Structure 1
Amino acid sequence: MPDSLLEIHTSVLALMRESGPRQLAKYLTVLGEDIDPAADLSEQQLSHRLSTAQTGEPLLELWRHLLKRWDHIDHPSWAPDAQANTATRRALTYDALGFGPGLREAFSQAVPVAVVPGPVVISKERPDAAWYDKTTSAHAWYWPAYENYLLKNRHWPADAVASLDQASTQVVSRLADPTSPVPYKAKGLVVGYVQSGKTANFTGVAAKAFDAGYRLVIVLGGTLNLLRRQTQRRLDMELVGMENILRGANPADPAAMEGMDYQDDKAWADGQFLSHGAQPSTLGRFNIERLTTRDDDYRSLLQGITALEFDKREPDLPLYDPRNLHRTAGRLMVVKKNKLVLTKLVKDLKKIRTDLGEIPVLIIDDESDQASVNTSDPKKWRDGQTERTAINGLISKLIQMLPRAQYVGYTATPFANVFVDPSDVDDVFPRDFLISLPRPEGYMGAQDFHDLGSGIPEGSRTVGNSRELAHVRSIDADGEEFGSPEEATAYTDGRYLREALDMYVLAGAMKLYREAAGAPTYRHHTMLVHESVKQIEHRELAERLRGLWHASGYFGEQGHHRLRSLFDSDIKPVSALHSEGFAVPQSYEDLAPFIGPVVIRVGGAGHPVLVVNGDQDIEQPELDFDTQSVWKILVGGTKLSRGFTVEGLTVTYYRRTTAAADTMMQMGRWFGFRRGYRDLVRLYIGRSETRGTKTVDLYEGFEAICRDEEAFRAQLALYSQQASGPDGMPGAALTPAQVPPLVAQHIPWIKPSAPNKMFNAELVEIRSPGRWVEPTAHPSRAADLRRSTESWGPVLAALGTGERVTFVHLPREDQGSYTRYPAETTVISHAEMLQVMGGLRWDRPELFAPHLKYLADASDAGCAADDWVVIAPQLSSAGSVSASLLGSCPLTLVERARNPRGVFNRISGMAHRQSAERIAGLLPCSPEDPFAAQFTRPRRGAVLFYPVIESTEAIRAGLPSGGMLDPGKVVAAFAFIPPAGPGLGDRRGPLVRFRTIDSGQPDSPVVASHSS
């Protein structure tokens, strides 16, 4: 029996999809004439239908999709001033639809407004900025098809699809109008999260760009075949569609299907590829022709230059004219960032007959911080000419030779991209827009493995309130019981690797248990072991894993005993609290029947472990998530640490160190979407391991990087708000080149990016609450020494006007003896201290400028100092020399020598620091050090001041005791410790911030100013 209500609402909402909400009753009256006269189209009937609808009911889903779309879009005509995803926006939508109170309540209950953050956008304004709004509905085909695919085939929630719609529109609308007679090259950067669905976003962007008129889309799919192939398949499945892949071939004809790249793909056989119903060109639309396939990258001889030619229906008109553009096929290629491949593409483009200036081109650069950035050293460039690395040079050449090319980079680790010189017009700096995507719902990222911002004391944390306790298991290979690093490694591999394997088996059994209880099939179940980038070490590690696997006794009592213990101590308590409604067995006995099937599936064909790297000599099955169900343990390095999605990843064993934050974050393959097994995810990660001469904590490193990332995104959000006027309305636009995003470094041993990607990065700020800072690059010229000493004038005048005090350095851990030292002291305000610091002169001002930046920051996150205690230690040893500076009381002179680089190694005395640390709040006060306790105040810093001379003999020869010293012959040296503040006494190292140097804008805020 036909559903008349669904029928008429489908027709009505199809009309409203692009026009926006209109009076529903009027539409129903006009369009309802041809349906069953007995159909009840009243508000009461619709309200009743909504209130009784089950999940997935077609009418409810129809309305849910459209309401969510209207909730998300920016500045719609019916609610231009209402913020997206708010009750105000929804109320205005109801007004436009003409809903009464009953229907409003019914819809609000059935389709509540979700508070979903939109993307953060920093964008350049252009005169043609509204071009996309005018073309959205006229030629829409591939985007609606993709949108429907996500809803129906991938079962995405309506909110997620609406959010993707909004974010992808933000990108496409900032590209140039493909039909404009005047070409413009836009460059942008889209920042997502590691493994968070960036491919979905650029698939949406490609779909909308094709619909709008872009006819050549080039996707730079990483540097490895593994990632390029995965990206090609995703685009083929979700955008291109079956009919464009078949190109008219009959899928029922075996001969026609011979050699087709998806003939062995289970998803193709199961009908999971998008279908347009027929070739789009037969339906009045345009086809997309693939110039690359799943298995074949771009090859000149394979596809031929003619595949790049564009036919024009109106030969006398340019291709970009709408009369030609919307009647010609689009071209799609997914190519590796490989010198040989890109060289062929550039060469072929030069040969085609079609005028390159007429082709609207979109270049999507996946993992744009890898290979795309110029890593040549500017200091080595000849004759001032920019010299580029191979891939950067070829991408730049592509952009140069295609006058209508638009470049959009995608990355989760943007530091290398924002360090590109904005004035290099041929490089990939995102001069037009920078978009930060919101964290998607259901995503499991770095924050889900760390208790960042948790107000719960460590002793009170449990698997219920601590992300770390729920998901992270420490690998600690250091200890006194080991005689050598080799023994420590062997112990680590034996103990922790076995436990990780046991956890992997238990998690697999949990998945099968849930399948039996009605959960969807878990097609893939993987474990990743990542310890090294070296292929020889991968082989050795794989052998150790195979040995552990075969000796684990999973079919015997010993194996079951270990699994039972781990289930009771780990799986059961975590899953009981975090299973999200998925089945959890009451006891190990309920789970035990599923252990054997897991072991058989993983160990099938005698290969429980697969090595994933470039080693061609290993005999093993191919890793192919597309055509096979993969239940395996994976060992690898580079191939599994950048862009490539490890499907079904549940247990990770990670011990690889790197010194670059972006590289390290990309190794976090355990990030992603874990629907149905989030509670089973476990990360085994190195803690406090000795690597060479330093001790590193990988878990602590990821936490620091997570803070770096949050700080970067927070700054983008701040600049985005500054580009808005009152009530969130658009204000003066800020361009990415005008925005100096400070890239933070929260831990000393992990820099934001590799050194060869930071040639254009400038250190501008060092935040050091509760940490010692001792500048050493003091000036050497007499004039500069005099200026610096004169800057200390007010402090020197105040020293000696009060009581001389004696500070005490206490023994640590009952070792050593007490040390007492007398000192002249004074207290000055923070404003006075800034004036002193700002007047100092330096041989290398760039070394002190980042500290001064922090001290001068008056924001809540800045230096929280009200005043400072200045301590001038005085010596009474034989041979000590005292002198007066600018009329001060006699001060003990300190002799220090410069090193060959012209700077001092260290100036302050270690015995002088402890009292200053008490004053600044880094150490607790002690009754043994009464004067330090007397000076201690909240928000107070401490300074140790030393008049330094480089030769006491020379000074003594011409200086009477207590006489006046020439300010041009003394170094006014000092060390300081800003107030620690609550919880800021972190000894891991100072927080530093970098930003980009704009070589073409010396007066730009992007370039820090230094004291002269």
Structure 2
Amino acid sequence: MNDIDTVRIALHNAVLGDMRSSRPKQLVKALRYQADDFEGDDRGIAEGCASEEDFQLALRNAKVTDALIELWRKELTAWDYQDAAAWSRAEARTDARRADIYARLELAEETRKLLTSLIPVFKEETPVVISEDHQEWYSTSVQHGREFYWPRYQQLLTAKGWPAHAVSGLDEASDRVVECLADPAAPAVYQSRGLVVGYVQSGKTANFTGVIAKAMDAGYRLVIVLSGTLNLLRGQTQRRLDMELVGRENILRGAGEYESDYADDPDWAKGSFATFGASPSTLGGFDIVRMTTRDHDYKSLLQGIVALEFEKQEPALPLHDQQNLHRSHARLMIVKKNKTVLAKLVKDLNKIKTPLSEIPVLIIDDEADEASVNTANPAKPDAERTAINKKISELLGMLPRAQYVGYTATPYANVFVDPSDTEDIYPKDFIISLPRPAGYMGASDFHDLGGRLPEEERTFANSNEKAHVRDVVVTDEDNDESLQQAIDMFVLTAAMKIYREEHDPDGRLRFKHHTMLIHESVRTLEHRELLGRVTKLWWEGGYTGPRGHERLRRLFEDDVLPVSQARAAGYPVPSSFEELSRYVGAAFHRIGGDDKPVIVVNGDKEIENREADFDRRPIWKIIIGGQKLSRGFTVEGLTVSYFRRAANNASTLMQMGRWFGFREGYRDLVRLYLGREEKVGRKERDLYEEFEAICRDEELFRQEIRQYAKPVNGERQIRPRDVAPLVCAHLPHVKPASANKMYNARLVEQDSAGAWEEPVAYPTSVTALRHNTGLWAPVLESLSATTTEFSHPGATNRFSALTGRLDAAAFYTLVNALKWEDPDKFFPHLAFLQKITDASARKVDDWVVLAPQHARSGAGFTLAGSERSFSWFARSRRRGPLFSAISDPKHRTAGLRIAGAEALPGNQALEDLVTPRRGAVVLYPVVEGPNRQQVEETGRIEAGKLVMAFAFVAPMSARSDDGRTVRFRVIDSTKGPIIDA
């Protein structure tokens, strides 16, 4: 060694390695103890480094990327993340936990400050788990007693550059899944079924790879991964698992290097596949036998059925007995969700001699909401299960020890399954919501969900929409101006990436892939025409001449430069187009140097001129995609998306969002060219509005799962079967999932203190509407004669409104008398309002009423018998018939502030209304389509044609004393309502 830095790192590595299997211990004492093991000159150096003063000196001079810091980051993060640590009572990922670590290490205050500045506590959200009671079997002794594949997977991720907090987060998240499974060695048979909810392209594959590694280490010996419906996705998943989990020795199984099915894969030649040094079974582990390969899905084994037979060292004992289980190889197969393929697997499993009841099986269902769910109409008595669902049911039926874990980013189809259907895949045992990972760029990063600022106040720094989204408005089918600009942006961002590679101060930044995705249609004939258009635009773009450079200059100065100056996060940005222009030629060559700048991925072999295999080679191309790229498949390096395809439900639309994912080093360069106000059939569609609506749906679903998962007084609030998804479709034509879904519970009370609530199940009959308008008419008449202007900083929260007040009893009496199209939709809120208004435990004194008024003239209505005019709102209903979202985002912050749920103060007019125990009601008189012409022409409307819609925020002071937020009535289709939870 003989280098101070090298010896210091070796010394600290030895100390932390010793603590890794126990707990943090007194650092200086441990350093001195380990220094004695060094020999020769290194011992003297080690003794000199065995002091806290030396450690402080090293920390003062260290960079965050230094090896010593990386070493300490890994260990500190592991201790930060350790769940229920015996040596600390503090919660994981808190300052208190870090303080406990420092105290155990007996570090001086100066050392603590230096370490925290270099390695701050990473306070990422934890997975949210809603589960049934289950036997606790996945203990520390089980986890660490027979570990083989998991620690090696950890090491591989670290070597790939995963930060310590990300590896620790994956460790924790995969633990939460595995501990919900049944003990593979338990004598009793139990089959669990669960669902893991992630984000689109957010690392779900890494999570289930970790789950597979830990499950195999624990004893699961047959792992079946159901990977999408397309060969493209199945092959991508197979390679990922082979590369990161299975490893070279299990792939070769004694064969020569060039006999591997990855012999032509560059990463195989570079040694990027996991390797163990020898066959795992000779190293105290167990081998993984692949039943599928990169290019071949599961095939009937015929005479080779022995490959599925499990070895028993003790024939008299069952396979799941400890004496057999950990001495048997594991089988792994990545199988496409295809009826024929699954039928072959079912047939072969029925042939093997090993009793199926003895095999611990893990079934991972990737994209579990696609094809797996039974969509046959349950109302038809003779309805048969859909093909894929039937085969999955057969697998579960014949494998009693099978654990089913579905993975999806769009869970609605799965949680709508009837929980009483024992043959289906309802997640009866657990639902786990994964946290949004650090560095992830998702739907919310393209929208201003806090409210859109006025156009004049929006900047590239404060508006996600202004920074990343560009409108595509096509008035003439022959006009490709927007498409040309998107291609120009693709070339510019390519040049920016090459510029950053050359100017990266650490020399680490490398962009293997750079892609543009064009998604207009799923029809191959249209792809053929689009290929011709894009190719023509590319070659006529003039990217190597003055004409093209002039277009690029304008786009750089008007778009790329100001966005990157605001959002580059420290990555290099050229100061002028002249500085960037010399990289444009290199960008043009990387994209079109082979005269094929475009790849079509749609299954049409005549047009699919180059397979989009991101694993085998770098790809800098424009990709025209169809159904193959709509779900699951990752388009690497995606920077520019041109998207005009509509969809009818949120799940499909969200899965089309291939622009979601990790964009390290080029987040500021991402652009989304999106269809706005596009005519689809007879309707005008705004894709940006649709994505924003489903983004709000998704965030609401996750928020409620997170809220209801919290125990109250040590008791859980809900179980998996109680997750009657509180999902609303904010747009009438974009439903959460396909229409044939079922709710499994009825919500009978919802504590919504401090939450914005807006009912949507207003009546349709003239009589009921007249009744409701009659109840609200006195309230309207009692409002102030003039408007008050309200404003709130940080969002588009300026508006004018008439104001009034209702005492608690009057408001409850009014809403209790309202008529509804579906009373059950409002009943949970009514039950809560009754409870907080009741004189014996009153938690609300009064309600401020706001009636927002439009600034424009001609937007008012007058009711018969009144001379006052009030603003009305144009809103539409969805199926049910329920309304979509009614409120305007700029009104919500005011309501939340009045009710005490928003801490940031607004203008004086708003602050004057804020008092404890006060709620807010916002009125939205709605005029539906058929009646709008009348009110626009006359300014008057009959009471029976007006929908008196409203939203409310109960005061924060009305929160439940015991913290309970919901009470459900669980519904079983075979028994009816069975339990209040």
Q: Is the TM-score greater than 0.5?
A: yes
Which residue of 2 is the match for residue 394 of structure 1?
391
Which residue of 2 is the match for residue 318 of structure 1?
318
What one-letter code is carried by the residue in structure 2 that aligns with 1:353? Answer: K
**Aligned-partner SS, 1:474:** strand
What one-letter code is carried by the residue in structure 2 that aligns with 1:603? Answer: G
* Structure-2 change in CA distance of 1:654 and 1:758 (3 Å): farther
* 8 Å CA contact 1:773, 1:975 repeated in 2: no
Q: 1:401 offset after TM fit, Å?
A: 1.1
**Aligned-partner SS, 1:45:** helix
Q: Which aligned pairs between 1:291-310 and structure 2 lie closer than 5 A?
A: 291-301=291-301, 304-310=304-310
2:161 counterpart of 1:155: yes
Which residue of 2 is the match for residue 929 of structure 1?
none
Number of aligned residues: 860
2:177 counterpart of 1:202: no
Moved more, 826-835 or 41-50: 826-835
Q: Which one has a bigger Cα radius of gyration?
A: 1
Q: Please, which of 850, 862, 876 is the counterpart of residue 825 of structure 2?
A: 850
* 8 Å CA contact 1:772, 1:977 repeated in 2: no
Which residue of 2 is the match for residue 737 of structure 1?
721
* 8 Å CA contact 1:525, 1:647 repeated in 2: yes
Q: 1:1001 offset after TM fit, Å?
A: 5.5
* 8 Å CA contact 1:772, 1:976 repeated in 2: no
Which residue of 2 is the match for residue 681 of structure 1?
670
Which residue of 1 is the match for residue 332 of structure 2?
332
**Aligned-partner SS, 2:599:** strand
Paired with 2:532 and 2:747, the residues of 1 have a C-alpha distance of 45
* 8 Å CA contact 2:762, 2:949 repeated in 1: no
Which residue of 2 is the match for residue 755 of structure 1?
739
* Structure-2 change in CA distance of 1:380 and 1:320 (3 Å): same
**Aligned-partner SS, 1:633:** strand
Which residue of 2 is the match for residue 122 of structure 1?
130
Paired with 1:296 and 1:201, the residues of 2 have a C-alpha distance of 24
Q: Which aligned pairs between 1:45-194 and structure 2 lie closer than 5 A?
A: 45-79=54-88, 81-126=89-134, 128-152=135-159, 154-194=160-200
Q: Please, which of 22, 40, 43 is the counterpart of residue 19 of structure 1?
A: 22
2:921 counterpart of 1:939: yes
What one-letter code is carried by the residue in structure 2 that aligns with 1:356? Answer: L
Q: 1:246 offset after TM fit, Å?
A: 1.5
Q: 1:605 offset after TM fit, Å?
A: 3.5
* Structure-2 change in CA distance of 1:910 and 1:424 (3 Å): farther
2:977 counterpart of 1:1003: yes
Paired with 2:781 and 2:273, the residues of 1 have a C-alpha distance of 84
Moved more, 405-414 or 619-628: 619-628
* Structure-2 change in CA distance of 1:914 and 1:232 (3 Å): farther
What one-letter code is carried by the residue in structure 2 that aligns with 1:91? Answer: A
**Aligned-partner SS, 1:978:** strand
* Structure-2 change in CA distance of 1:325 and 1:827 (3 Å): closer
Q: 1:741 offset after TM fit, Å?
A: 3.0
Which residue of 1 is the match for residue 899 of structure 2?
none
**Aligned-partner SS, 1:580:** coil
Which residue of 2 is the match for residue 659 of structure 1?
648
Which residue of 2 is the match for residue 513 of structure 1?
499
Moved more, 636-645 or 515-524: 515-524
Structure 2 stretches lacking a partner, 5+ long: 786-803, 837-842, 852-860, 874-885, 891-918, 927-942, 954-967
Q: 1:981 offset after TM fit, Å?
A: 7.5
Which residue of 1 is the match for residue 368 of structure 2?
368
Q: Please, which of 52, 56, 60 is the counterpart of residue 43 of structure 1?
A: 52
Paired with 2:449 and 2:844, the residues of 1 have a C-alpha distance of 22
| Cα-to-partner distance string for 1:9-28 (whole Å, 9 max, x where unaligned) | 43443343243334445655
* Structure-2 change in CA distance of 1:759 and 1:115 (3 Å): closer
Paired with 1:303 and 1:51, the residues of 2 have a C-alpha distance of 67
Which residue of 1 is the match for residue 261 of structure 2?
261
Paired with 1:28 and 1:295, the residues of 2 have a C-alpha distance of 52
Which residue of 1 is the match for residue 552 of structure 2?
563
* 8 Å CA contact 2:301, 2:348 repeated in 1: no
**Aligned-partner SS, 1:241:** helix
Q: Which aligned pairs between 1:451-466 and structure 2 lie closer than 5 A?
A: 451-454=448-451, 456-466=453-463
2:227 counterpart of 1:221: yes
Paired with 1:803 and 1:58, the residues of 2 have a C-alpha distance of 72
* Structure-2 change in CA distance of 1:663 and 1:916 (3 Å): farther
What one-letter code is carried by the residue in structure 1 that aligns with 2:493? Answer: A
* 8 Å CA contact 2:192, 2:429 repeated in 1: yes
Q: 1:495 offset after TM fit, Å?
A: 0.8
* 8 Å CA contact 1:313, 1:324 repeated in 2: yes
2:225 counterpart of 1:237: no
Which residue of 2 is the match for residue 978 of structure 1?
949
Give TM-score, length-normalised by structure 2. Answer: 0.80
What one-letter code is carried by the residue in structure 1 that aligns with 2:719? Answer: T
Q: 1:155 offset after TM fit, Å?
A: 0.4
Paired with 1:534 and 1:763, the residues of 2 have a C-alpha distance of 43
Paired with 1:390 and 1:381, the residues of 2 have a C-alpha distance of 17
Which residue of 1 is the match for residue 939 of structure 2?
none
**Aligned-partner SS, 1:745:** coil
**Aligned-partner SS, 2:976:** coil
**Aligned-partner SS, 1:363:** strand
**Aligned-partner SS, 2:610:** coil
Q: 1:75 offset after TM fit, Å?
A: 1.2
Paired with 2:741 and 2:374, the residues of 1 have a C-alpha distance of 7
Q: Which aligned pairs between 1:569-608 and structure 2 lie closer than 5 A?
A: 569-608=558-597
Q: 1:827 offset after TM fit, Å?
A: 11
Q: Please, which of 518, 543, 557 is the counterpart of residue 529 of structure 1?
A: 518
Q: Please, which of 458, 462, 466 is the counterpart of residue 469 of structure 1?
A: 466
What one-letter code is carried by the residue in structure 2 that aligns with 1:748? Answer: P
Moved more, 91-100 or 585-594: 91-100
Q: Please, which of 409, 420, 425 is the counterpart of residue 423 of structure 1?
A: 420
| Cα-to-partner distance string for 1:467-516 (whole Å, 9 max, x where unaligned) | 111111011225xxxxxxxxx2222xx11001011111111111122222
* Structure-2 change in CA distance of 1:301 and 1:995 (3 Å): farther
* 8 Å CA contact 1:122, 1:735 repeated in 2: yes
Paired with 1:350 and 1:979, the residues of 2 have a C-alpha distance of 60
* Structure-2 change in CA distance of 1:67 and 1:849 (3 Å): same
**Aligned-partner SS, 2:379:** helix
Paired with 2:487 and 2:302, the residues of 1 have a C-alpha distance of 45
Q: Please, which of 8, 33, 37 is the counterpart of residue 34 of structure 1?
A: 37
Q: Which aligned pairs between 1:611-760 and structure 2 lie closer than 5 A?
A: 611-618=600-607, 620-721=609-710, 723-725=711-713, 730-732=714-716, 734-757=718-741
What one-letter code is carried by the residue in structure 2 that aligns with 1:129? Answer: E
* Structure-2 change in CA distance of 1:747 and 1:795 (3 Å): closer
* Structure-2 change in CA distance of 1:299 and 1:977 (3 Å): same
Paired with 2:920 and 2:708, the residues of 1 have a C-alpha distance of 32
* Structure-2 change in CA distance of 1:587 and 1:1004 (3 Å): farther
Paired with 1:364 and 1:830, the residues of 2 have a C-alpha distance of 52
Q: 1:772 offset after TM fit, Å?
A: 9.1
Q: Please, which of 764, 777, 781 is the counterpart of residue 776 of structure 1?
A: 764
* 8 Å CA contact 2:197, 2:411 repeated in 1: yes
* 8 Å CA contact 1:241, 1:276 repeated in 2: yes
**Aligned-partner SS, 2:301:** helix
Give TM-score, length-normalised by structure 1. Answer: 0.78
* Structure-2 change in CA distance of 1:489 and 1:324 (3 Å): same
Which residue of 2 is the match for residue 818 of structure 1?
none
